[in-house]
Structure 1
Amino acid sequence: MNGKATSARTRLERGRGALGPALELVHTGRAPTRAVLTAELGVTRATAGAVAAELEALGLIRVDSRPGAGAGSQGRPSHRLAVDESGPVALAAQVHADGFRAALVGLGGTIAATAPGCVTVSADPAQVLGDVVEAGVALLKESGRHCVGAGLAVPSAVAEPDGTALNPLHLAWPAGAEVRDIFAECVQAAGITGPAFTGNDVNLAALAEHRHGAGRGARHLLCVATGHRGVGGALVLDGRLHTGSSGLALEVGHLTVNPEGRACHCGSRGCLDVEADPLAFLTAAGIDPGPEVSLLQQSRDLLRTEYDDPAVRAAAEELVDRLGLGLAGLVNILNPDRIILGGLHRELLDADPERLRAVVADRSLWGRSGSVPILPCTLDHNSLVGAAELAWQPVLDDPQSVLAQRVP
């Protein structure tokens, strides 16, 4: 072996431990060039180049063969880095009250393909998860791409370490359904060799937004969202989901915001879960929701097309006030540096941003002295992207050992 080849191998050996951190930097968009990668990793240019070359050889990223500089930049031009859009994918699945969806998600949080599923979700988790995995497998066969693993988002707290759905309140599933094991069995039976993971849908939405969306750069990120039914919350601390001692933290849907309010599935009254979700909005607006379109879509359509109607505006203001009370309490307890809102809450924020921020500021201890930014989530299907993040994590931790095992 000549001296040049020996030198290159030595650089790669020194940088092998940086493969995972380097891939995560490119994956999250924080290293658009090799120069930035070098600075972020704290290694030499030669080592960063060897690391980037190895990730490219694994089919994970692309390195621009001709370095260039952006307009107005100074210094030596640098090679641009990007995820390989034809590289491996993760199978992501989401189940909610109005159906399910399967998707293929590449590095960078890019959705490569989606397949919406049924409208009515069976009371048998095994049947639903088998169907959603089958839809995902069809996408994989059509794409011909390698799958690194699978992730599932469910509208329930998922207890650790058992992987059971403790409170699938808006599904007909039994409490304590062993969703992780069922999903893993379906994935294995479908011939997918990668690992399978399961998590709460809002937790996964928050993870996706922190890595790829409105939560980028936040150290203490609070996410609150209402999807098709109910309200969920999540907290990301220094890049990691805070799930508590057994996976059940941040059940914000069961904060009481109206003691005399609607009865909640949890046994209490006036919880955010029933005071600030799409059904609550439609009911407050005097709308009898039809079965043909999801509650979330009906609520969005109403806000976008009928907001000038006094009944719709009053209903929106009622939900904003309830949501603001809940957020103020969370600000007092958690002291986040950013709040992001998803689902219908994003639409309510867009409709009347000043009202919501005023309620939070007025009701929180720290609101007036240093207002917390409240922003809309920016990713479409963020729970799906977050489910894929679970499947991608082993690759981000050790790309070479994971992908070296794949069969061409």
Structure 2
Amino acid sequence: MNGNHTTGNNTHVHGTSAPGNHASGHHTPLERKADRETVRRHNLSLVLRAVREAGETTRAGVSTRVGLTRAAVSSLVEQLLETGFLSESGKTFSGQAGRPGTALKVARTGVAGIGVEVNVDYVSVCVVDLAGTDRVRLVEHLDNSGVPPDQVLDRAARIAARALESAAEQELRPVGAQLALPGLISAGTVRQAPNLGWTQVAAEGPFAEALAALRPGLPELPVRSENEANLAALAELWFGGLGQVRSFLYLSGEIGVGGALVLDGELLRGAHGFAGEIGHVVVSADGPECRCGSRGCLEQYAGQSALLRAAGIDGTTGAQGVAELERRAAAGDERAVTALAEAGLMLGRVLSGAVNLFDPDAVVLGGIYRPLLPWLSPPASEELSGRVVSGLWPRDAGRLRASSPAADAARGAAALVVRDVLADPVAYAGG
């Protein structure tokens, strides 16, 4: 029996014990045994995710996909229908013998997630449903730099409250809010966000309180926070047009330059959650002083303000300035084209080092870089071609690409809330 002794329905496997317990023969279990309720909750998640990934399917289709019996799937589907996570309609024919099945989809009403991106010159709020569909979108262009954090978070809460009202009109019920913030985020605290001027700011509590005050009588939403570039990269992974690409470097061009690395479909956070701060890689030791306290950071050459100033445009004009830069470059304005070429060169140098270090399949440029890619790409691709040692990045490789218009930090933030729901729908039933 290979050392495994079975009595009734209980199986005890010998041969693995905790350090120090060998002499006495006592064993420390690695984890608690899954009880019936735990197994059912897991299977409910499995079925819900299978329907979501399929878009539309039948009970038989779910059974085939997840490897559970049709009877088990039917029981689980009924619970998900009763609790509002799934809907069914019509008849669908599988082409096989037997009765036709009803079509299952994730519900378009009920549980949802809300994402709130707070950046230097705007606040963007997005509500997504269980399918990940963008259902509400509000963007306000605001100057948040140097404004006290509580005031900025209060502004964001007011926009979020309006988005929640719109969601309620569509019979959506967000069950959590995710903040997307620029800078170093750890345990709900913004350790440092140089372009906002924030240091050691506890963002989640004040935002939750401000939002609750605007929604008297309604349950307070749990709030979490994450770096905005990380969330934009996740949105690109989940909603972008990357196809089979599962390892990529994402750069978000805004006032600052944010970065995130996804390897095999998982976000690389680093030992302390601070991985990806590519905007503060030094490209010239004696370059301009950066708000982070260093000099010559990439941000000082390829960040929004620096890029606009180099093109002869007011660096504080934000989105309007970027649109003007694009217009001038398209018209062949020499100063605009030169500024973009210099920024592309610096981007390429920094990216080539990151590519050599992590070997991603692609580099995705988001934020302001997406509309400016036609001018940034040639010099950046030239640098990548000449500096990446693998030889896999020739100028025509197509590995340097623009982000998807469907993917941004606010949507990634909202979708992160939804993924928690998909992982354990029982925890979010009712309400």
TM over 0.5: yes
Structure 2 partner of 1:313: 337
Match of 1:198, as an amino acid?
S
The alpha-carbon deviation at position 156 of structure 1 amounts to 1.4
Q: Which has the larger displacement, 113-122 or 74-83?
A: 74-83
Match of 1:234 among 225, 242, 260: 260
CA distance in 1: counterparts of 2:428 and 2:42, whole angstroms: 14
Structure 1 partner of 2:237: 210
Structure-2 change in CA distance of 1:373 and 1:348 (3 Å): same
CA distance in 2: counterparts of 1:212 and 1:310, whole angstroms: 36
The alpha-carbon deviation at position 391 of structure 1 amounts to 2.2
CA distance in 1: counterparts of 2:404 and 2:93, whole angstroms: 30
CA distance in 2: counterparts of 1:304 and 1:91, whole angstroms: 34
The alpha-carbon deviation at position 193 of structure 1 amounts to 3.5
Per-residue displacement from partner, 1:115-139 (whole Å, max 9, x unpaired)?
Answer: 3346232622222222322332233
Question: Which stretches in structure 1 are left out of the alignment for 5+ residues?
Answer: 1-11
Structure-2 change in CA distance of 1:193 and 1:392 (3 Å): farther
Decide whether the 8 Å contact of 2:239 with 2:406 is kept in 1.
no
Structure-2 change in CA distance of 1:146 and 1:252 (3 Å): same
CA distance in 2: counterparts of 1:288 and 1:258, whole angstroms: 24
Matched, 1:223 2:254: no
Per-residue displacement from partner, 1:237-290 (whole Å, max 9, x unpaired)?
Answer: 34332212221111111112233432212222221222112222212222234x
Match of 2:284, as an amino acid?
N
Decide whether the 8 Å contact of 1:184 with 1:197 is kept in 2.
no
CA distance in 2: counterparts of 1:41 and 1:331, whole angstroms: 37
Matched, 1:386 2:412: yes
Decide whether the 8 Å contact of 2:50 with 2:66 is kept in 1.
no
Per-residue displacement from partner, 1:148-174 (whole Å, max 9, x unpaired)?
Answer: 111111111102x3x21122111133x
Structure 2 partner of 1:363: 387
Structure 1 partner of 2:369: 345
Larger gyration radius, structure 1 or structure 2: 2
Match of 1:155 among 182, 201, 210: 182
Structure 1 partner of 2:26: none
Match of 2:148, as an amino acid?
D
The alpha-carbon deviation at position 202 of structure 1 amounts to 0.6
Q: 1:5-404 to 2 correspondence within 5 Å?
A: 16-27=41-52, 29=53, 32-34=56-58, 37-67=62-92, 81-117=104-140, 119-121=142-144, 123-144=147-168, 145-159=172-186, 161=187, 163-173=188-198, 175-189=199-213, 190=215, 191-215=218-242, 217-227=244-254, 229-289=255-315, 291=316, 293-294=317-318, 296-304=319-327, 306-307=329-330, 308-351=332-375, 353-368=377-392, 373-380=399-406, 382-404=408-430
Decide whether the 8 Å contact of 2:344 with 2:378 is kept in 1.
no
The alignment partner of 1:91 has SS state of: strand
Q: Which has the larger displacement, 99-108 or 18-27?
A: 18-27
CA distance in 1: counterparts of 2:233 and 2:96, whole angstroms: 37
Structure-2 change in CA distance of 1:127 and 1:286 (3 Å): closer
Structure-2 change in CA distance of 1:15 and 1:225 (3 Å): same
The alpha-carbon deviation at position 66 of structure 1 amounts to 1.9
Match of 1:264, as an amino acid?
C
The alpha-carbon deviation at position 321 of structure 1 amounts to 1.2
Match of 2:295, as an amino acid?
R
Structure-2 change in CA distance of 1:87 and 1:318 (3 Å): same
Decide whether the 8 Å contact of 1:93 with 1:151 is kept in 2.
yes
Structure-2 change in CA distance of 1:262 and 1:83 (3 Å): farther
Decide whether the 8 Å contact of 2:63 with 2:73 is kept in 1.
yes
Per-residue displacement from partner, 1:274-333 (whole Å, max 9, x unpaired)?
Answer: 2112222212222234x5x42x44223421453222222222111111111111111111
Decide whether the 8 Å contact of 1:324 with 1:360 is kept in 2.
yes
The alpha-carbon deviation at position 369 of structure 1 amounts to 7.0
The alpha-carbon deviation at position 383 of structure 1 amounts to 0.7
Match of 2:124, as an amino acid?
R
TM-score normalised according to structure 2 size: 0.78
Decide whether the 8 Å contact of 1:100 with 1:119 is kept in 2.
yes
Question: Which stretches in structure 2 are left out of the alignment for 5+ residues?
Answer: 1-36
Decide whether the 8 Å contact of 1:108 with 1:212 is kept in 2.
no
CA distance in 1: counterparts of 2:86 and 2:360, whole angstroms: 33
Q: Which has the larger displacement, 335-344 or 60-69?
A: 60-69
The alignment partner of 1:401 has SS state of: helix
CA distance in 2: counterparts of 1:325 and 1:37, whole angstroms: 48
